[in-house]
Amino acid sequence: MAIVNEDPAMVKVLMDSGANLNERCFGNFMSTEDQKASRSDSLDHEWVNLCPDTNYEGYVYWGEYPLSFAACLGQEESYRLMLARGADPNNQDTNGNTVLHMLVIYEKI
């Protein structure tokens, strides 16, 4: 929420308090719109099952990781803070996308 609210000071407070910068934020709400109907959770493993074909349109599909959120939302200060503290830009979300993929999808680079 600190990233979405454009509050790098709060991002720093959370990091200083031990927030896991590589924790995924995922669920139906965070999915692309066209994948929501095919999405199902499995108790056999920690990932979800969904149709791999997507147009990547969605209200809050920003890559599932705090670093991806910051990159997609143009929060450069928060991005740099998290990267300096060990956030991994190569973490892959449910669709296999990294920070770089998300920036290409949203035409940020």
CA angle 38, 66, 13 (to 5 degrees): 145
Predicted local distance difference test score (pLDDT) of residue 86: 97
Q: Are 97 and 58 in contact (CB under 8 A)?
A: no
| Cβ atoms of residues 3 and 69 within 8 Å | yes
Domains for the chain: give ranges and CATH numbers: 1-12+24-53+66-109 (1.25.40)
pLDDT tens digits for 4-49?
Answer: 899 999 999 999 999 999 998 877 777 788 888 888 777 777 677 7
With cut-offs at 50, 70 and 90, classify the pLDDT of residue 79: very high
pLDDT at position 78 is: 98
Q: Over the stretch 36-48, which tens digit does the pLDDT of each residue have?
A: 888 877 777 767 7
